[in-house]
Structure 1
Amino acid sequence: MSNSVTIQELVKTSSYKILVGEEFLNKKITSTEIYRPGVELTGYFAFYPSWRIQLMGQTELSFIERMTPEERLVIMRRLCQKETPCFIISRNMTPPIELIKACQEAGIPILQAQSKTTRVSSNVTNLLESRLAERISMHGVLVDVFGMGVMITGDSGVGKSETALELIQKGHRLVADDRIDLYQHDEDTLMGESPPILRHLIEIRGIGIMDVMTLFGAGAVKQSNEVNLIVNLALWTKEKKFERLGSTEEVVNILDVQIPKITVPVKTGRNLAIIVEMAAMNFRAKTMGYNAAETFERNLDLLIKENSKEED
């Protein structure tokens, strides 16, 4: 699934003021990286990434002020390439007249931001990484349980949505039902969200589609969440073998991010919502350094050694 971001969408999701080029806001942003011109201001353009958003702050503008008007116009025109999406000026500073002229000639918008340069850089990068990242869709339910993103998977009809509904009734939050859009936020973080058409909705067989936000309030839903754990619901049969001690951990690779996975057998009478809650709490305990399975195995080894000594 490929996504794109226009300058218009960037403006809508921020408080940036449009100084120049309102008619060019449909230009598309193709790179998640932004650039602060440095050596280019001295005339060195050998490796200039003109396809990125160009960000200027106090450092760049103070250097530009030292140039003559003729020098500024030459440099600004070289900065303004056809593929350049836009310029952002931080700290509510005023761009040089020569930059305004060059942008008008090349059809490039200039945006003005109130925040300091590093904050603008961070905010824009986060937005672009979430919107332009490679995305895939998976069948399942994503729920925020105790602040952890638990993706519930399993065959159709196994009880994923019903389990999520009970979790919502217990105070947890729904992120996505039926289909989860996944993207990599960074090397170690996988994010999940609902497609816009399914946002806040959950389907329960026999009842139909329900709007969770309308029934339970805004606190029962969340737009996106990190995926920390996969709980796979599998129908129990005598032939299937399920993990009993929890010492063996399965890991699933999704978009180059390793996500731990546990498989829970589904049997009549089992409260799956409580099991998912316990799975989330147990996983959090592991991330904090406590592993119940390792403690049990260590105690078992000590007991075996003590019995061996008594026999000797």
Structure 2
Amino acid sequence: MIYTVTFNPSLDYIVSVDDFQLGLTNRTSSELMLPGGKGINVSTVLGNLGIESTALGFVAGFIGQEIIRRMGEMGIRSDFIVLENGVSRINVKLKSIDGTEINGAGPEISEEAVDCLMKKLDILGRGDILVLAGSIPKSMPDDIYRRIMKRLDGREVMIVVDATKDLLMNVLEFHPFLVKPNHHELGEIFQTELKTRESVIPYARKLQAMGAANVLVSMAGEGAALIAADGKIYDAPAPKGTLVNAVGAGDSMVAGFLAGWIEQKSYEYAFRMGLAAGSASAFSEMLATKEEIKKLLGDGGK
């Protein structure tokens, strides 16, 4: 079974506003509301590809209940811990101004709630896959990723980490199956600027030398590069298409990579599936469907 963890799920309110004006009343020209968060996005794309997963994390209040309800409607299994206090967040994403978002804070998460999550993770073992993705709320311990991986160490759980800075660096000693920084995040770790697929390879190799089995670096329109566990390097430009919505593209790449690996146990195919899934989401209003991914994958994916 695949499990995804989203520590701070959201209800994403995605809107377009024509001719946005500061200081004035603006009206939406389009609206979309979806359960959000990096782990949830991974579960969504996996579900679109016909692969079952269980979404874990914390929810609270009426927004939390709506997140659960909408995920159920989408056919995504969830086992969230429902907090007694606070309310899950709403994230406003303004499509008309690329990259403009207002993200809520989310509820306080107690140590008791964290312990409850740990107990849920105790059932994982050989053959299971765990996806740890995204930032953590301020109320949670900043070593939570490391605590989880240390707790599961030796159980042969394949763990994927999509996080930044210390959250990522502090878990490499536990040999995650896959880490997926983007090129900006990779450059930030090593205090350099990375613009080409060729330039990311030596730094991705450093993460591999520190313990990561596979290092997949997403680069938006530049495509992606993979330093695989078998020592091979795969890189490719992004498929051609029109950027519609970049939200969730990186998460879709993680889902596509896992789906490809499960299907063929081939790093090359997993890489191609990841790139196709990430691009398909970027070219769509919604997260990528199976048909959209397979279309970008090309004849080799049939």
Coarse TM-score class (shorter-chain normalised): under 0.3
Bigger Rg, which one:
1
More strand by percentage: 1
Tell me the TM-score normalized by structure 2.
0.24
TM-score normalised to the size of structure 1?
A: 0.24
